[in-house]
C-alpha cells in the first residue's frame, strides 16, 4: 500500500492511497478516515486494511503532492552515515551518529520545486531513506527497534553547503524553505520486508550520482533508533532521515552542484521516485 498526502482540488490538505495510478481520497475531502497520515498512524490504522469503497478517486498524475507527512513533530537527520560519504568528506572513524534537525515547514512534496536560495552558490542534493515512527519510542533497545517503525519514504535533504559549513552546527544549511523533499509515498514497513536489501539511487538530469544498498549504513536502523531514543522521545509520526551515500555534488567535481532547472531524482526500491526541479529563489 502506498500512502500519499496531497492537495484536493479546493486547496484542502488531504491524503489517500495510490493504486495503479489512481488515488483514493480517504482524508477530509474524501472518506475522512483521519485528518492526515500522522493521525492515521496515531490511531493505529496505518498499514491496516482500509475500506476504499465509496472513496472519491483522482488520477495520480493530476494531484499536487505534499510531503508524505505534512506535520511531523520531529525530524531527526543523520549525517555522514555511509562509509563512502564519510571518506569523501574526511569524516571517518565516528563513534556515534552525527545528528541534526530539520524543521517541518522546510519540506516539500514530490514534483515541487527545490528552491535554491539567493544567498548561496553551493546548493547540493542528498538522497536518503526516511523512516517514520509508529508508536512512542523512548530508550528503545536495538532488538525492539523494528516494532517502532510505521513506514519508509524517499527523502532529499537539499543542502546549502556554504551556510552548512560556516560553523560547526549544520542547522542553517539544512533549513531553508522548500529544501526537504519527502515522498512521493509513505510505504508501510510490513510491505517492504528486509529494508537492508533496498537500493538507493540519486540522479541529476538522468546521470547517476549516488547508488548504494541501505545495508551500507554505518550506523544501521536499530542502532539509530536506540541512539536517538536515548536522548529524546520519539512519537508517532516523527521522522528519522537515515543518511546519504557517497557522491554528493560538493565532492563530485566540476559541475557537481545544483543550478536552476536541474532535475533531481531519488529512487529507492519499493518506495518510488522522488523528483524535484531546482528553481532559483526570486
63-122 pLDDT, tens digit per residue, is: 999 999 999 999 999 999 999 999 999 889 889 999 999 999 999 999 999 999 999 999
C-alpha separations of 192 from 196, 197, 218, 254 in Å: 10, 9, 21, 37
Whether residue 14 is found in the same domain as residue 128: no
Overall number of domains in the chain:
2
**Is 177 in the same domain as 204?**
yes
Are both 59 and 79 inside the same structural domain?
no
Q: According to the model, what pLDDT value does residue 76 have?
A: 98
Residue 11 in any domain: the answer is yes
Q: Are residues 276 and 168 in the same domain?
A: yes
Whether residue 70 lies inside any domain: the answer is no
Same domain? For 251 and 274 the reply is: yes
pLDDT digits (tens, 9 = 90+) for 119-158: 999 999 999 999 999 999 999 999 999 999 999 999 999 9
Domain hosting residue 138, numbered range? 75-280
Choose the final residue of a domain: 65, 88, 118: 65
Nine-digit cell string for 251? 565532492
Q: Are residues 53 and 166 in the same domain?
A: no
Domain assignment present for residue 86? The answer is yes
| Residue 260 and residue 121 in one domain | yes
Give the per-residue pLDDT at 253. Answer: 81
Domain end point (choices 24, 45, 65)? 65
Co-location of 32 and 80 in the same domain: no
Pairing of strands 149-157, 187-188: antiparallel
Instruction: Kindly state whether residue 160 falls inside one of the protein's structural domains.
Output: yes
Q: Is 42 in a helix, a strand, or coil?
A: helix
Inside any domain, residue 161: yes
Average pLDDT of the segment spanning 261-265: 98
Rounded distance between C-alpha atoms, residue 259 and residue 31, angstroms: 41
**Domain shared by 131 and 106, yes or no:** yes
Instruction: Mark whether 18 and 129 lie in a shared domain.
Output: no
Q: Mind listing the pLDDT tens digit for each residue in 200-233?
A: 999 999 999 999 999 999 999 999 999 999 999 9
88 and 171 in a single domain? The answer is: yes
pLDDT at 17 over 90: yes
Specify whether the CB–CB gap between 242 and 217 falls below 8 A: yes
Q: Which of 65, 87, 104 is the last residue of a domain?
A: 65
Q: Sorting pLDDT into bands at 50, 70 and 90, what band is 22?
A: very high
Residues 92 and 215 in one domain: yes
d(CA 73, CA 227): 18
Can you tell me which residue has the cell 496505518?
46
pLDDT at 254 over 90: no
Indicate which CATH number applies to the domain containing 235.
3.90.850.10
Amino acid at each position: 500500500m502506498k500512502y500519499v498526502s496531497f492537495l484536493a482540488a479546493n486547496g484542502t490538505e488531504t491524503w489517500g492511497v495510490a493504486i495503479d495510478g489512481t488515488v483514493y481520497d480517504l482524508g477530509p475531502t474524501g472518506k475522512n478516515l483521519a485528518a492526515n497520515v500522522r493521525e492515521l498512524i496515531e490511531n493505529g490504522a496505518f498499514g491496516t486494511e482500509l475500506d476504499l469503497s465509496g472513496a472519491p478517486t483522482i488520477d495520480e498524475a493530476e494531484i499536487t503532492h505534499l510531503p508524505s507527512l505534512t506535520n511531523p513533530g520531529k525530524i531527526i537527520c543523520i549525517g555522514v552515515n555511509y562509509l563512502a560519504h564519510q571518506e569523501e568528506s574526511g569524516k571517518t572513524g565516528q563513534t556515534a551518529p552525527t545528528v541534526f534537525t530539520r524543521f517541518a515547514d522546510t519540506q516539500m512534496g514530490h514534483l515541487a520545486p527545490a528552491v535554491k536560495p539567493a544567498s548561496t552558490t553551493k546548493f547540493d542534493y542528498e538522497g536518503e531513506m526516511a523512516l517514520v515512527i509508529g508508536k512512542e519510542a523512548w530508550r528503545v533497545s536495538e532488538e525492539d527497534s523494528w516494532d517502532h517503525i510505521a513506514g519508509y519514504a524517499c527523502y532529499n535533504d537539499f543542502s546549502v553547503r556554504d551556510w552548512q559549513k560556516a560553523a560547526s552546527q549544520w542547522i542553517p544549511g539544512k533549513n531553508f524553505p522548500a529544501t526537504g523533499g519527502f515522498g512521493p509515498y509513505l510505504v508501510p514497513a510490513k510491505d517492504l520486508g528486509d529494508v537492508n536489501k533496498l537500493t538507493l539511487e540519486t540522479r541529476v538530469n538522468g546521470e547517476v550520482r549516488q547508488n548504494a544498498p541501505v545495508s551500507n549504513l554505518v550506523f544501521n536502523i536499530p542502532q539509530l533508533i536506540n541512539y536517538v531514543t536515548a536522548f529524546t522521545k520519539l512519537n508517532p509520526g516523527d521522522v528519522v532521515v537515515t543518511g546519504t551515500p557517497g557522491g554528493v555534488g560538493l565532492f563530485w567535481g566540476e559541475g557537481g552542484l545544483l543550478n536552476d532547472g536541474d532535475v533531481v531524482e531519488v529512487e529507492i526500491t519499493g518506495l518510488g521516485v522522488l523528483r524535484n526541479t531546482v528553481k532559483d529563489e526570486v
